[in-house]
Amino acid sequence: GRLVRRHGEITVGAAGAVLFAAGCLGRCLPWWPGTVAASVVVGVGLPWTLVAAVTAVQTYTPQAMLGRVAGTANTAMFGPITLAIPLGSAAVAVGGRPPLVLAAVACLAAALAAAVRPRRQPAAGGPDRWRISSGRERSRSFR
């Protein structure tokens, strides 16, 4: 959360994707300490990307559409896992390295695409306000 607040969703999401890609490539190493270190890097990079994406959805979506957009974003982020499970099982035949390299290339391409996109403005009532369960708004002055 602090990284997102300080550097923005796009920067943290792109950095997380780059870390995830580096971790995927590190998992290709034939040296087990390198593989363990790469797993730690994946464990840092993936949450950064997911938290940044969810924060961006909540920040840049108008409040009236937040439920639908959040549901669609969650489907876009977590839905491909249902395809990845059988594809991963089939990828066992080609070995462990090609799918990891492919994942790294896809993540680096996504990070590059996010880095070159123009910045958007938050929706009204966006990052400086949040709604509590009673329905009234409260300022985020506790930073």
Q: Is 63 in contact with 123 (CB distance < 8 Å)?
A: yes
Q: Within 13 Å of residue 75, how many CA atoms lie on the same side as its CB?
A: 6
Q: What is the DSSP letter of 30?
A: S
Q: Are 107 and 18 in contact (CB under 8 A)?
A: yes
pLDDT tens-place string over residues 3-44: 999 999 999 999 999 999 999 999 999 999 999 999 999 999
Q: What would the pLDDT profile of 133-142 be if each residue is shown by its tens digit?
A: 444 444 444 4
Instruction: Indicate the pLDDT class of residue 116, thresholds 50, 70 and 90.
Output: confident
The answer to whether residues 41 and 113 touch, using CB atoms and an 8 Å cutoff, is no
**27 near 99, Cβ under 8 Å?**
no
